[in-house]
Structure 1
């Protein structure tokens, strides 16, 4: 639930501080003036990923131009958990859900990966970035996750820092449960999760991922999950055991 001071929250690239003025861009101004029908004097929340969250008062409201007077800090900036999500894009609607839910669940960055079974439309990183921004505005996080362009699985694995602990969601895995595996891992500053496409990873890809040092396979239960469900389930587990839920 949003703080009582306001009912509208926006991300802005501008610096935020007491008595600064912020000019909203054309799209945001249209949203504020025409869609949300805000008026001069109304309060809105602002954040930029650097300066925390601030309360602002609308001084000028036009459909192409809005000016906000920044008055007080509501929350200081805090760091989100350093979680990188490597995921195989699926259909447009499901990929949008992955972006939205991963943002809500606190990932720092999202890396789409091309696998042998990746079957999706051409990715538009600009649209994905907008989906992440809108989700960040709604869920009250203080920054927006980074969206990377699509790269092949091999390249994604090779560019991961060795110290990043990678959780491999392997639908074919049997044996120890995710709960047992995650609870037995030491807490670290850098985490990663990798989930597969519709149809799962190929045998060669499973071997490649498993061969990476500091990688731990987990099963997400006895049922085959959709790609977007696997993302939600694995992020929830990681946040519960090693993230900021506690």
Structure 2
């Protein structure tokens, strides 16, 4: 039976007792059928990962007694995803897979062809936490509040940003990615793609490079994950493994 991993934002230290969330209590007691005394691991990017035991467990309350540290905190890649707000299931899937791929920040953006009118940031943050617990990373990506595309670009800090632009005759992503090092970002449009004027505005910025993901037109969620995988392989922390 595998040991559950739980993200806790409170300070972690050997010998401490730290409270969990109601959702964690429900998951441990109702879904996993765990009880007081059972082993868990708790983690965050600031303090690392600790072996722990369930000290108390009720329907909506739990606490953990921390034992020895299993992993110290370590630097993680600054790989960012800027993605047009997609329909719920597609965006949920993108957040889960982007977390597994090691992104640091997910910035939803609103474009002219965006078809959704609301992004539930709290739900997406919960999905990211769950994915981080499963994939054994120490950090959980930040889920930013949605912004209009131009506002997200205006606020960008100048790190290289590649944008998926299959219909622009752009060079393959591997050419641009091979010359990059983190931090960098990946920008993906909505289901219907960016409007031409939006791509024109983006690529006028010195930090933006249009790239192509091969000969086929990909769904937005597929393009998001495929591009992140290429960037991790050629410019990110996959190069160290």
TM-score by length of 1: 0.93
| Residue number in structure 2 paired with 1:191 | 184
Is 1:8 aligned to residue 4 of structure 2? yes
Is 1:36 aligned to residue 32 of structure 2? yes
Q: Per the alignment, in what secondary structure is the counterpart of residue 172 of structure 1?
A: helix
| Residue number in structure 2 paired with 1:150 | 146
Shift of 1:55: 0.6
- Which of 49, 54, 58 is the equivalent residue of 1:58? 54
Q: CA RMSD in A?
A: 1.4
Q: Per the alignment, in what secondary structure is the counterpart of residue 130 of structure 1?
A: helix
2:175 and 2:55 map into 1 onto residues whose CA distance is: 55
Is 1:206 aligned to residue 199 of structure 2? yes
Is the 1:92–1:121 Cα contact (8 Å) retained in structure 2? no
Change (3 A) 1:216 1:64: same
2:63 and 2:180 map into 1 onto residues whose CA distance is: 48
Is 1:173 aligned to residue 173 of structure 2? no
Change (3 A) 1:19 1:171: same
Change (3 A) 1:29 1:19: same
| Residue number in structure 2 paired with 1:82 | 78
| Residue number in structure 2 paired with 1:226 | 219
1:135 and 1:161 map into 2 onto residues whose CA distance is: 27
Q: What 5-or-longer segments of structure 1 have no aligned partner?
A: none
Structure 1 residues 84-99: aligned runs within 5 Å: 84-99=80-95
Q: Deviations over 1:157-186 (max 9, x none)?
A: 000012x01111112132532222222x24
| Residue number in structure 1 paired with 2:20 | 24
1:60 and 1:106 map into 2 onto residues whose CA distance is: 32
Q: What 5-or-longer segments of structure 2 have no aligned partner?
A: none
Is the 1:125–1:147 Cα contact (8 Å) retained in structure 2? yes
Is the 1:59–1:68 Cα contact (8 Å) retained in structure 2? yes
TM-score by length of 2: 0.95
Shift of 1:40: 2.2
Shift of 1:122: 1.5
Query: For structure 1, which segment, 166-175 or 105-114, has the greater mean C-alpha deviation from structure 2 after superposition?
Result: 166-175
- Which of 38, 42, 45 is the equivalent residue of 1:46? 42
Runs (4+) of structure 1 exceeding 4 A deviation are: none
1:127 and 1:27 map into 2 onto residues whose CA distance is: 12
